[in-house]
Amino acid sequence: MMSRRMVKSAMWLVGGVLLLISPLSPAWAAAPPWERVEAVRAVLGGETPVPGGIRLDLPLVSQDGSAVPLTVEVESPMTVDDHVEAIHLFSTGNPTPEIAVIRLTPEAGRARVTMRVRLNESQSVVAVARTNTGRFHAVARDVRVTVSGCLARGNDFDDASFMLARVRAPDRFSPGQPGEVLTLINHPMETGLRQNGDGNLIPQRIIHRVVAEVNGSAVMEAELHRSVAANPYLRFFVAPTAGGTLAVRWDEDGGESTVQEVPLRLP
């Protein structure tokens, strides 16, 4: 049996070896978070993001990691010649890094999205935006996640509301001017990482796609991953040039889909 001192030395040794070979070395730690996550580097494909032009809002401290509000906005004229094509959101502290990919067209009018995400622990959240001209913007924000003792939470999903969806658009749009659309769907967003009472993993079952179409053409398409909070809540912009219909469709892993339509009114 090893003495406590020996155990301690052995741990130091292991720690020392790790320091040499692991990405915990100081130079690595000083790199921006988007250079430290393989999934983020894959999106960048070797490109260096231009400074600024993107904002990521998260609370400094969240008392409920199961649903942390997140807003990302990219400065962009959202014209055919110059617009944001995709915004990628990443967690650096969850079991899997991808949170969501939001694909936009110029008809969105404004590159701003609000949603609620799951954060397992205190960490950096990273947003990377790609424009149609091949430009990248990136930003990282630190969030401290605590679960307050007075906030111990229940874990029940109300099955009766499964796939119940809601959409709200502004009462009236000005032609070509962006207005914010709110969407919400009741879904447990089962991560695939949770055990049931018998200790077996509950299979992943999430809403994996949300598509918004204005008069039949896609304006926003969101690819969601397990780090999106239960009951996916998504706010985005549309800038219709004519009246008509906004249709939002949600697809989930169990093969179910639902569509909600709301009128778009212009003067």
Q: How far is the CB of 264 from other proteins (least distance, A)?
A: 15
Q: How far is the CB of 60 from other proteins (least distance, A)?
A: 6
The closest of 94, 76, 93 to 85, measured between CA atoms, is: 76
Binding to other proteins by CB under 8 A, coded x per residue (else -) over 113-152, reads -------------------------------x-xxxxxxx
Contacts 24+ apart (CB under 8 A), 166-171: 166/260, 167/246, 167/248, 167/260, 167/261, 167/262, 168/262, 169/238, 169/246, 169/262, 169/263, 169/264, 171/265
Under the criterion CB under 8 A, does residue 184 sit at the interface with other proteins?
A: yes
Residue 173 engages other proteins in binding (rule: CB under 8 A) = no
Contact positions with other proteins (CB under 8 A) in 56-75: 59-64, 66-67
- Choosing from 231, 236, 237, 248, the residue that interacts with other proteins (CB under 8 A) is 231
Q: Which one, 80 or 147, has the nearer CB to other proteins?
A: 147
- The correct pick among 11, 17, 166, 257 for binding other proteins (CB under 8 A) is 166
Q: Which two tokens stand for residue 105?
A: 């067209």
Asked whether the beta carbons of 214 and 251 are under 8 A apart, the reply is: no
Alpha helices in the chain (DSSP H): 4-21, 26-30, 33-36, 38-44
- Judged by phi (left if over 0) then psi (alpha if -120 to 50, else beta), residue 132 lies in alpha
Q: How far is the CB of 188 from other proteins (least distance, A)?
A: 11
Helical (H) or strand (E) element with 56: strand 54-57
The distance of closest approach from Cβ of residue 116 to other proteins in the complex, given in angstroms and rounded to an integer, is 9
Using rule CB under 8 A, residue 233 touches other proteins: yes
Q: What's the rounded Cα separation, in Å, for the pair 236 and 246?
A: 12
Q: With CB under 8 A, what is the number of residues at the site for other proteins?
A: 29
How far apart, in Å, do the first and last CA atoms of the chain sit?
83
Q: Which is nearer to other proteins, 82 or 142 (CB)?
A: 142
Contact residues: other proteins, CB under 8 A: 59-64, 66-67, 144, 146-154, 158, 161, 166-168, 182, 184, 186, 230-231, 233
